[in-house]
């Protein structure tokens, strides 16, 4: 069964993969569900998870088909940005970059700017952060 989903998402357009569900949108817009932590089990390419995130839910999508998760990541990219207001040596930005996510890092402190230097070295060639 896992192989079916894995190959299906990779090579075909799956019949249910047609964007976020109207029912979910209605639940959100009517206020019957309000932003909270949410988990989308079997999230597929993430349409519903992305919709929830756009409405302020702290959502995690889970799926055993790696090809579906790859597509979900593409949907997510550009729609949300990882913000690290205390960037330090840039670990969050490094991980965000590895996951293909955009990020903004801010750091105003640090003794002798040592963390800033470390972050700049680690992040050379990636998106520019704000220090």
Ligand X SMILES: C[S@@+](CC[C@H](N)C(=O)[O-])C[C@H]1O[C@@H](n2cnc3c(N)ncnc32)[C@H](O)[C@@H]1O
Distances (CA, A) of 101 to 29, 43, 94: 28, 19, 10
| Residue among 91, 85, 61, 55 nearest 74 (CA) | 61
Distance CA(47)–CA(20), nearest Å, equals: 5
* # residues contacting ligand X (CB under 6 A): 12
Cβ 125 to ligand X, closest distance in Å?
34
Nearest-angstrom CA–CA distance, 68 and 62: 10
Residues numbered 65 to 124 that lie near ligand X (CB under 6 A) are 65, 68
First to last CA, the chain: 48
Q: How far is the CB of 36 from ligand X (least distance, A)?
A: 19
Name the residue whose CB lies closest to ligand X: 42
**Cα dihedral sign, 71-73-78-80:** positive
Q: Could you tell me the smallest distance in angstroms from the CB atom of residue 27 to ligand X? A: 14
10 part of the interface to ligand X, by CB under 6 A: no
- The tokens of 86 are what? 């205390």
**Given the complex with ligand X, which of 64 and 86 has the nearer CB atom?**
64
28, 43, 50, 96: which one binds ligand X (CB under 6 A): 43
Please, what is the minimum distance in Å from the beta carbon of residue 81 to ligand X? 24
Binding interface with ligand X (CB under 6 A): 5, 16-17, 42-44, 47-48, 63-65, 68
């Amino acid at each position: 069964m896992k192989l079916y989903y894995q190959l299906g998402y990779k090579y075909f357009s799956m019949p249910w993969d047609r964007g976020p569900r109207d029912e979910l949108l209605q639940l959100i817009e009517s206020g019957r569900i309000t932003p909270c932590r949410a988990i989308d089990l079997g999230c597929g390419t993430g349409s519903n998870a992305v919709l929830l995130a756009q409405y302020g839910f702290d959502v995690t999508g889970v799926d055993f088909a790696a090809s579906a998760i790859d597509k979900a990541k593409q949907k997510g990219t550009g729609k949300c940005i990882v913000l690290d207001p205390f960037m330090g040596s840039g670990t969050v930005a490094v991980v965000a970059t590895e996951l293909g996510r955009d990020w903004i890092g801010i750091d105003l402190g640090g003794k002798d700017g040592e963390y800033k230097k470390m972050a700049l070295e680690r992040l050379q060639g990636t998106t520019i952060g704000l220090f």
